[in-house]
Homo-oligomer: A and B are copies of this chain.
């Protein structure tokens, strides 16, 4: 039942997400560089610092924070074997037909419209840089984090594209 007096904890959610990403060795500058490389061919006036600032702005959106928190927690709970079967095995094996990882990511990518969705789809296949590292790491459960990072980059691309449209 929805509690009417609960106030959404914007700052705590942002701090949690940034701290967890840091713990998992995600460099936000590496992410904003991917956005820069994806968009510079369309936007010659774009620079890396601006992409970093837009990424930081994107990271304050509640819809992003909610989906990232859920995905990071599901990776952690699967890593610690705290989910019930068969969901545990499905997530630990990053089953291709699971789809909830891409679903959470698509909610993020879509915050700034369809440009984010198509960029996410591209990143989901080519898996640049840090996104690739997570996708290929055999030692940890990274089922959600690679998609979430792709979505954060994709949303940044869309925000930048709309700014200059």
Residues of A within 8 A of B (CB): 1-3, 6-9, 12-13, 16, 42, 62-63, 66-67, 69-70, 73-74, 76-77, 82-87, 89-90, 93-100, 102-104, 106-107, 110, 113-115, 117-126, 135-138, 142, 161-162, 165
Contact = CB atoms under 8 A, between A and B. Distances in A.
Nearest to A98: B66
B9 A99 contact: no
Nearest to A12: B86
Copies of this chain, how many? 4
Contacts of A103: 67, 103-104, 107, 114
A13 B86 contact: yes
A31 to B, nearest CB: 18
A112 B153 CA distance: 20
Given A94-B3, A121-B120, A102 B114 contact: yes
